[in-house]
Amino acid sequence: MPLTYPRLITWCIALLLMVPIVVGLISTILPAFHYFPPLNEQQLSFAPWVELFSQGEFYASLKLTLITGIGAPIVSLWLAFSLLAWGYQRPFFRKIEALLSPILAIPHAAIAIGLLFLLSPSGWLIRLFSPWLTGFDRPPNWISVQDPYGLSLLLALTVKEMPYLLFVMLATMKSIKAQESLEVGQALGYSRLTLWRKVLIPQLYPLVRLPIFIVVAFSLTVVDLALVIGPNTPSTLAVTLLRWFNDPDFSMRFMASAGAVFLMLCVLLVIVGWELSHLLTRHLTRSGRSNGKRKGITDNLLRLGAGVGVLTLLSGFVALLLLPIWSLTRRWRFPDSLPSQWTWSNLDRAAPLLLELTTNTLVIALFSTLFACAVSLIMLETKRHSLASRHQTTNNHLFDWLIYVPILLPQVGFLFDLHVLLIYLNLNGDLSAIIALHFMYVLPYVYLTLKSPYLAFNEGYLQQANRLCYRPWRNYLHIKIAMLKPALLTAFAIGFSVSIAQYLPTLIAGEGRYSTLTTEAVAQAASGDRKQVGSMAMLQALFPILVFWFAQFIPSRWTRWRLAIQKWRI
């Protein structure tokens, strides 16, 4: 991109990214100390904290948050490592790899709703074994979802996070020369799983550290998933805070803000604790790695993890299949394992609503993602400039850490206080405000997906093009962008699915004036109208899958199609 002032542009974009973060942070922290000018409260005090720590609900919620927020990343990481160690480069593992990207693309609310359909007392799993095995003629009185320990939430988090970690790990396998290490180690007589334990996992961990932190932050702060499948009364801390923020009594806001600051500290502390326990584990296992034993009992931990991992993936997949089944169901009595009567009328009846929700969802996703793609391209171009001009070999560019801040900060709290800014700007409830907030969460993923292919592009092509025919902007589009089409479309697909999955940004910026498939599906998940909820969740899952499929299918065929059409025209 023939940019004229790359440094100036770098700073402008950095400022653009920093303003909402700083404003959001400051306006979360100040109310936590009882400073909130809109309510005429300007006396700094610790009262909100005292109030927060005197709430019994706070401690119960915090306990649940810590169980699910620490448990889910640990289980996800264990399962991801196990599956990889067990299946890497085996033929049938490729099929599992192919299943990963649809599960990744699907909004987590849709997966949670599908799991609800699968695991609830009247869910498909019990129907499958009733009455012939269990003897149930009616749904049992169990609490298998929304259980008070948060186990179903933990499972839902794992179903969503494990494929993500696996996906990230698969992408880094080349850089640690896994294949070669396995060959060398097996020639020395080591068993496959032991090699993973002693050689590959220790190399892999530092490379996937950042995605793990993202997963930890997500698990501790997630709202929509916890609303659908998490425990209530008490619920997780993020959901409790959401309720306090939404309380008609505005003075609850102070305590809620203090809670939001506490949640932020929680994320920080858990990540620090995670790193410390990693150091400890590394220290403890260090001598074991070179003890020369070719096999070990701990190998079984990986073997078990692989089995559980396959089950988890499978349950995620079945959960997804249940969404379209429910949306087409007319009559489905309890112990039957499939509906006895099918119909289009659920979709038909809900068509006006679904159409409106779908339009909102797609408009928001399209604009926020296109905008994010454009900004990512400009950011990467300035990064390329600075890499080329300064002989820099380190990757410590301003954007590379700034970009992670929005994903690591808890949405609840941060967004509510950004909402105050929107009110000042008179943008509250406006479609542009929703798109702007979505953009903030889409941008990091688009930027990170696009980064390595963009920086790896051979500039020689563009330079040669400009020597042959000097039209810098045209050549940038027709040569560089056209050659980066596959990466751009993948980044677009990822951004698109991130936008479709957003719950709180839509809810807070839209003030209920704009609903999307996600906000409506989450709101109605508890209603028990499975046919309608199923339809929404199905549509919610459908669009990301379609876009992902296009992104995979089109670029490899584009040039052939274009040439075929042109030949036909001549």
Partner 1 sequence: MLVVKNFCLSLNEKRLIQQVNFRIDKGHVLSLMGPSGIGKSSLLHFLSGTLHHSLTATGEVFLDGNPIHDKPTPLRKVGLLQQMPLLFPHMSILENLLFAISGDLKPVERLQTAQQALEKLGIPDKANALPDELSGGQQARVALLRTLLSKPDYLLLDEPFSKLDPALRRDVRAFVLAEIRQANIPALLVTHDTDDAKAMQGDCLELESSPSFSTST
Residues that bind partner 1 (CB under 8 A): 389, 391, 458, 460-461, 463-470, 479, 482-483, 485, 558-559, 563, 567
Comparison of 96 and 483: residue with beta carbon closer to partner 1: 483
Smallest gap from residue 480 Cβ to partner 1 (A): 10
Comparison of 378 and 479: residue with beta carbon closer to partner 1: 479
CA distance 229 to 110: 11
C-beta separation of 253 from 47 below 8 A: no
The reply to whether omega before 121 is within 30° of 0 (cis) is: no
Residues paired with 341 in a beta bridge: 331
Smallest gap from residue 291 Cβ to partner 1 (A): 46
CA distance 398 to 255: 34
Q: Tokens for 494?
A: 């990822």
Smallest gap from residue 479 Cβ to partner 1 (A): 6
Smallest gap from residue 392 Cβ to partner 1 (A): 12
Smallest gap from residue 566 Cβ to partner 1 (A): 8
Comparison of 364 and 484: residue with beta carbon closer to partner 1: 484
> DSSP readout, 34-46?
T-BGGGTB----S
CA distance 516 to 512: 10
Distance of CA 33 to the CA centre of its chain: 32
Smallest gap from residue 552 Cβ to partner 1 (A): 17
Comparison of 1 and 500: residue with beta carbon closer to partner 1: 1
Q: Tokens for 197?
A: 């334990």
User: Three-class SS of residue 329?
Assistant: strand
Comparison of 429 and 486: residue with beta carbon closer to partner 1: 486
Comparison of 366 and 479: residue with beta carbon closer to partner 1: 479
Smallest gap from residue 476 Cβ to partner 1 (A): 13
CA distance 290 to 560: 54
At residue 209's C-alpha, the angle toward residues 203 and 215, to 5°, is 140
Comparison of 108 and 480: residue with beta carbon closer to partner 1: 480
C-beta separation of 497 from 544 below 8 A: yes
Smallest gap from residue 556 Cβ to partner 1 (A): 11
Comparison of 336 and 459: residue with beta carbon closer to partner 1: 459
In three-state form (DSSP H/G/I as H, E/B as E, the rest C), the secondary structure along 94-144 is HHHHHHHHHHHHCCHHHHHHHHHHHHCCCCHHHHHCCCCCCCCCCCCCCCC
Comparison of 340 and 389: residue with beta carbon closer to partner 1: 389
User: Three-class SS of residue 330?
Assistant: strand
C-beta separation of 417 from 241 below 8 A: no
Smallest gap from residue 467 Cβ to partner 1 (A): 6
Crossing angle (nearest 10°) for helices 530-569 and 485-501: 160
Comparison of 333 and 567: residue with beta carbon closer to partner 1: 567
CA distance 364 to 378: 21
Smallest gap from residue 461 Cβ to partner 1 (A): 6
Cα within 13 Å of Cα(176), Cβ side? 19
Residues 6+ apart with CB under 8 A from 285: none
